[in-house]
Amino acid sequence: MSEEIVARRLNVRFDGRSALEDIDVRIPVPSVTIIIGPNGAGKSTFLRTLIGSVRPASGSVEVLGMDPATKSDQVKRAVSYVAQKERFSYPVPIKVSEVVMMGLLVDKAIPRVHGKVDDRKVADALHVVDMDSYFDAPFDRLSGGQQQRVLLARSIIRKPKLLLLDEPFNAVDVLTQCAIIEHLQRLRNSGVGILLVTHDSNPLARITEYVMVLDKRLVGFGPPRAVLKQEVLAQVYGGAAKVLDGEPCPYVVLGDIHA
């Protein structure tokens, strides 16, 4: 099985409008890759194309050697995706443990019965994201950051080879953000690939291996030092983007908003 994500002349359209144009990219797995770009740049669309939820208009994608369009089930078993979500809108009374249990039960046969071993796995997954004391807590009583951590636990309990995260730091305070980044680092070290959409690359500077800059088309891809350059970012953010040299990689300031 090829350990990479490959897009070849990938085009995606919604209602005749282009969302992604001629994307050619090869992302090694495992790695930590961040996707940046302005609103409407196709960042979320790219992630959703990788799990087969969005079909390419032309071109192709390959995830870990599989085509998501034809092998959607296999791809979804190997890849965990956490959608962009600040709050859940529907009034479903559900406990934290039940949310995480979803990650286990979806791979079991209907009627998806769970046992004590599964409860232990859920507790372990919650421990990884420092939420073990919230096992029986109602999910809708948690803060945005805590919810994000629970969703992360739901993703990692499936032991994915690749984790796709769409803006995981929305509504997350700095401390929680640091905790999540720690967990991502540990996952990366254990061989999990991480592809993450964000508006702020700076908090992830310590663990980022590749940066993908999107603005419907691929503006840049490569290690942070090769991509986070004034001339590259100017193509998507105009003069508002400023790149400050730093360690371990450059920092980006977009007006007064980080990119």
Partner 1 sequence: MSLARTSFWVIYMLDLLAPFLVRAYVAIVLSAAAAAAGAVAVLRGVSYLPAEASHAALGGVSIAVFLGFILSVDLDPFYFAILFSACSAVLVAYAGGRLDRDAINSALGGVMAVSLAVYALLRALVPANMKTVIDGYLIGDILILTTKDLIQLGVTVLVAVFFEVLFYHEIMYICFDAEGAEAMGIRVKFYDYLMFFLMGLSGGLMAKVFGSLLVFALVMAPAAAARMFSSNVKNYLINTTLLTVSLGFLGLFVSIVLNLPSSGVIAGFTSAAYILSLAYSKAVRQK
Contact positions with partner 1 (CB under 8 A) in 184-223: none
**109 is a contact residue toward partner 1 (CB under 8 A):** no
- Residue 196 backbone phi and psi in degrees, to 5: -135, 125
**165 is a contact residue toward partner 1 (CB under 8 A):** no
Contact positions with partner 1 (CB under 8 A) in 131-160: 138, 151, 154, 158
- The CB-of-215 to partner 1 minimum distance in angstroms stands at 24
**83 is a contact residue toward partner 1 (CB under 8 A):** yes
Q: Which of 25, 51, 66, 129 binds partner 1 (CB under 8 A)?
A: 51
Cβ-proximal residues to 246 (8 Å cutoff; 6+ apart), any chain: 205
Residue 222, burial from CB neighbour count under 10 angstroms (0-12, 13-18, 19+): middle
**94 is a contact residue toward partner 1 (CB under 8 A):** yes
Q: Which of 90, 115, 116, 245 binds partner 1 (CB under 8 A)?
A: 90
Cβ-proximal residues to 215 (8 Å cutoff; 6+ apart), any chain: 37, 38, 41, 42, 235, 236
Nearest Cα residue to 152 out of 83, 64, 73, 76 = 83
**118 is a contact residue toward partner 1 (CB under 8 A):** no
Q: In what order do the strands lie in the sheet with 210-215?
A: 79-82, 162-166, 193-197, 32-36, 210-215, 217-222
For residues 132 and 12, give the distance between their C-alpha atoms in angstroms, rounded to a whole number: 40
**69 is a contact residue toward partner 1 (CB under 8 A):** no
* Contacting range for partner 1; rule: CB under 8 A; set: 62-70, 71-79, 206-214, 244-252: 71-79
**43 is a contact residue toward partner 1 (CB under 8 A):** no
Structure tokens given for 96:
């934290």
32-36/193-197 β-pairing = parallel
**49 is a contact residue toward partner 1 (CB under 8 A):** no
Q: Which of 18, 53, 170, 185 binds partner 1 (CB under 8 A)?
A: 53
**14 is a contact residue toward partner 1 (CB under 8 A):** no
Structure tokens given for 187:
């996952």
Q: How far is CA 137 from CA 141, 146, 182, in A?
A: 8, 11, 24
# binding residues, partner 1 (CB under 8 A):
33
Q: Which is nearer to partner 1, 95 or 242 (CB)?
A: 95
Residues that bind partner 1 in the complex, under the rule CB under 8 A: 51, 53, 72-73, 76-77, 80-83, 85, 88-95, 98-99, 102-103, 105-107, 110-112, 138, 151, 154, 158
